[in-house]
């Protein structure tokens, strides 16, 4: 399941992605006809995973697992009612061979002239599998 539709920008510390599929009636994370705000964490996790792949030159990158999320703050109850696209930003703040720590946020993109509506943010710890992925 790939939820992200576009990488807008990235460098060795940060990635910004966009998606609009949270509005889809057949979204794979919908439950009871709704897409709760906690599902936005999956968007952020996918942005983090993509950042990890983009930042390595290893032809067989190691698998990473979402080990924990902390200091999560929600700004709304649901994301399926958000009409704007989602902007997912993840910033690597620490890491070594075995773990990485990211700050993340998901906002509703209100366009360049309007401030974005903040939806969720927090920190995520990624545990990196030792050895090769293959």
Residue 76 has a pLDDT of 94
Q: How far apart are CA 55 and CA 47, in angstroms?
A: 12
Domain extent, residue 22, equals 6-128
Angle at 46 between CA 83 and CA 122, to 5 degrees: 75
In a domain, 79, yes or no: yes
Q: Is residue 60 part of a domain?
A: yes
State the burial class of residue 106 (Cβ atoms within 10 Å of its Cβ: 0-12, 13-18, 19+): buried
CATH number for the domain spanning 60: value is 3.10.129.10
127 alpha-carbon distance from chain centroid: 16
Confidence of residue 117 (pLDDT cuts 50, 70, 90): confident
Res 134: pLDDT = 47
Confidence of residue 112 (pLDDT cuts 50, 70, 90): low
Instruction: Yes or no: say if 72 and 120 are a contact pair by the CB < 8 Å rule.
Output: yes
47-51, 74-78, 85-89, 128-132: least confidently modelled range: 128-132
* Count of domains for the chain: 1
Q: What is the pLDDT of residues 5-31, one digit of tens each?
A: 999 999 999 999 999 999 999 999 999
Task: Kindly state whether residue 11 falls inside one of the protein's structural domains.
Answer: yes
Confidence of residue 96 (pLDDT cuts 50, 70, 90): confident
Residue 45 CA to residue 38 CA, distance in Å, equals: 12
Token couple for 91: 């910033």
Quote the CA–CA distance of 99 and 125 in Å, as a whole number: 7
* Model pLDDT for residues 55-66, shown as the tens digit of each residue: 888 777 778 899
List of E strands, the chain: 6-10, 14-19, 64-74, 86-95, 99-108, 117-128
């Amino acid at each position: 399941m790939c939820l992200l539709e576009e990488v807008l920008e990235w460098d060795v510390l940060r990635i910004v992605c966009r998606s609009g599929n949270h509005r889809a009636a057949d979204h794979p994370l919908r439950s009871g006809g709704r897409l709760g705000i906690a599902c936005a964490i999956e968007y952020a996790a996918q942005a983090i995973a993509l950042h990890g792949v983009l930042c390595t030159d290893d032809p067989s990158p190691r698998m990473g697992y979402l080990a924990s999320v902390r200091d999560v703050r929600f700004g709304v109850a649901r994301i399926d009612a958000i009409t704007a696209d989602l902007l997912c930003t993840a910033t690597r703040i620490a890491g070594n061979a075995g773990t990485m720590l990211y700050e993340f946020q998901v906002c509703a993109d209100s366009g360049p002239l309007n401030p974005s509506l903040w939806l969720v943010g927090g920190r995520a710890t990624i545990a990196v599998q030792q050895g090769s992925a293959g």
